[in-house]
């Protein structure tokens, strides 16, 4: 396996782990009307990151890759946004989990944004 293939495989695993970790975290949130709405949005965006990254990896053209990676960046940033809302509204019970998810979503957003920028330059 090449370094690039290893990187892609690890990023696929990492984005899937983010989705699973977010789902598990959402089950620990304080129960209220707001947390139900936020949980729905957060789970949608977090699971979309990995799904769209996988789609980007299967892209049939540079344009298709760029389109999919743009979605990945949006969804990763949205995931980070909903986690920040949970933090600011104090809807969490497990601060360590929240901090880990914030860090991970930020890192994934930065990695994907860099991939997007590189893809744009190579168009």
CATH superfamily assigned to domain 3-121: 23S rRNA-intervening sequence (1.20.1440.60)
In this prediction, residue 1 has a pLDDT band, given cuts at 50, 70 and 90, of confident
Q: CA-CA distances (angstroms) from residue 94 to 11, 50, 90, 98, 121?
A: 25, 24, 10, 6, 41
At 123 the pLDDT is 59
- Specify the length of the chain in residues: 123
**Spatial CA neighbour of 119 closest among 76, 69, 72, 55:** 69
Residues 12-60 pLDDT 10s: 999 999 999 999 999 999 999 999 999 999 999 999 999 999 999 999 9
Residues 61-79 pLDDT 10s: 999 999 999 999 999 999 9
Residue extents of the structural domains in the chain: 3-121
Q: CA-CA distances (angstroms) from residue 73 to 56, 84, 97?
A: 11, 17, 22
């Amino acid at each position: 396996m090449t370094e690039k293939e290893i990187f892609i495989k690890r990023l696929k695993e990492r984005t899937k782990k983010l989705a699973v970790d977010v789902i598990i975290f959402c089950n620990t949130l304080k129960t209220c009307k707001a947390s139900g709405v936020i949980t729905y949005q957060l789970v949608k965006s977090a699971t979309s990151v990995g799904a769209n990254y996988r789609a980007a990896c299967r892209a049939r053209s540079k344009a298709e890759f760029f389109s999919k990676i743009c979605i990945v960046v949006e969804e990763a940033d949205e995931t980070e946004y909903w986690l920040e809302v949970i933090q600011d509204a104090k809807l969490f019970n497990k601060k360590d989990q929240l901090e880990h998810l914030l860090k991970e979503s930020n890192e994934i957003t930065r990695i994907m944004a860099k991939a997007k920028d590189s893809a744009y330059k190579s168009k």
